[in-house]
Amino acid sequence: MPRTVGRSILALAALSISVAPASAQDARLAEQVDRWAELMNEQVIAWRRDIHANPELGMQEFRTAALVAEHLESLGIEVETGVGGTGVVGVLRGGRPGPVVALRADMDALPVTEQVDLPFASTATAMWQGREVGVMHACGHDNHVAILMGVASVLAEMRDDLPGTVKFLFQPAEEGPGGAEPMLADGAFEDPRPDAVFGLHAWPVPVGQILYRPGGQLAAADGLRIVVRGVQTHGSQPWSGVDPISAAAHIVVGLQTVVSRQIDLTDSPAVVTIGQIEGGNRGNIIPDSVVMVGTIRTLSPENRSRVHALIVQVAENIAESQGAVADVTIDLGYPVTANDPELTQQMAPSLRRVVGEGAIVMSPIMGAEDFSYFAEEVPGLFIMLGVTPPEDPSMGHPNHSPLFFADERALQIGVRALASLAVDYMSGRPISD
């Protein structure tokens, strides 16, 4: 476990902040963020490597949570553990009055066996769905945790001059079953309640880029299950029964018209995918039923409700037209991760200050994130942090791949970005580039 750098050690290199009018003071806070991020970078890298080498699955992040809690306590931050399972909440109260900002990092890894050639590559295993599997930070959450630990160090050094309060949310189980809702149920947004929440995610675009989007940035992800019920009969005389396989095939085709013909894709994309079909056990027997399993992705609450209703209508009507019955079940998953448009516009200059032209308005992503629950409670902004080496795009493997790679040069950018968002928001205005 890497050594924690506390306030007493970092204070040796502290930059003094003189008493000054608010606007000048706020500008100097921005300079302090950059300076402390640079001073903390070696330690942040060490944390990231330690966490990467010791990944833990969702709701099993005991070692990671202990590391986080120990570090926050060393900084004199108020700490609560066991929030929503294995979550950790820290509260840093600044020396000046101002708003409350929440910053979030997710801690869990995935049941993936690492194939990246790193000296700190994961060799961890765990039980998953009844079998032993490799465990890897294949989605970059090790970076998220190390970055937020670094942000905590940076802001703790600036505590006396911070114009507000910062809540640090270290969340379990983003990959499932979801840790944001349990944390909220356990009071993560209480005493004090945040005025805004910020988060980031490692993403396979070049280091030096930060991607963001007002409105729907990541999709709602809902489970779909359709059971088509017919009447079993001999395959040589289908007229003696009702063929659920034929009905299921027509339903698969019909569902594509929900997206291509009944949703305005110029306004908000949507996806309906059937990824699994099971029915029958012999070529000469028409079975009683067919089970279809899929996923629904939408980028606005309005489209989410409309797509759900259309799926039920299409499946039931097509089945009825062939004498069958379709039972449709839609399991609600993570909602749309929507960036508050006003907050996004307000904080965009802060991102440009950190990466200049690398701050890019992105296209939406049809993956899902349970940061969405935090952003439903208060205005939120979620950004994507580039982690691919610019000089070697071939290293840009997708999240959840056993080859996922994060360039550590992105860590300091992430610390600067989250700390700047917090400080600039508390100051009441972003510090432009």
By annotation, the residues acting in catalysis are 334, 408
Q: What is the largest CA-CA distance in the chain?
A: 90
Please give, one letter per residue, the 3-state secondary structure of the chain.
CCCCCCHHHHHHHCCCCCCCCHHHHHHHHHHHHHHHHHHHHHHHHHHHHHHHHCCCCCCCCHHHHHHHHHHHHHCCCEEEEEECCCEEEEEEECCEEEEEEEEEEECCCECCCCCCCCCCCCCCEEEECCEEEECECCCCHHHHHHHHHHHHHHHHHCHHHCEEEEEEEEECCCCCCCCHHHHHHCCCCCCCCCCEEEEEEEEEEECCCEEECCEEEECEEEEEEEEEECECEECCCHHHCECHHHHHHHHHHHHHHHHHHHCCCCCCCEEEEEEEEECCCCCCEECCEEEEEEEEEECCHHHHHHHHHHHHHHHHHHHHHCCCEEEEEEECCCCCEEECHHHHHHHHHHHHHHHHHHEEECCCECCCCCHHHHHHHCCEEEEEEEEECCCCHHHCCCCCCCCCCCCCHHHHHHHHHHHHHHHHHHHCCCCCC
Please state, in angstroms and rounded to a whole number, the distance separating the CA atoms of residues 150 and 422. 13
Residue type for 402, please?
Answer: P
Sign of the alpha-carbon torsion through 415, 144, 140, 385: negative
Q: Reduced to 3 states, what is the DSSP secondary structure of residue 206?
A: strand
Answer yes or no: are the C-beta atoms of 334 and 345 closer than 8 Å: no
Tokens of 128: 């998953």
CB–CB of 126/61 below 8 Å?
no
Alpha carbons within 13 A on the beta-carbon side of 168: 34
CA distance 433 to 431: 7
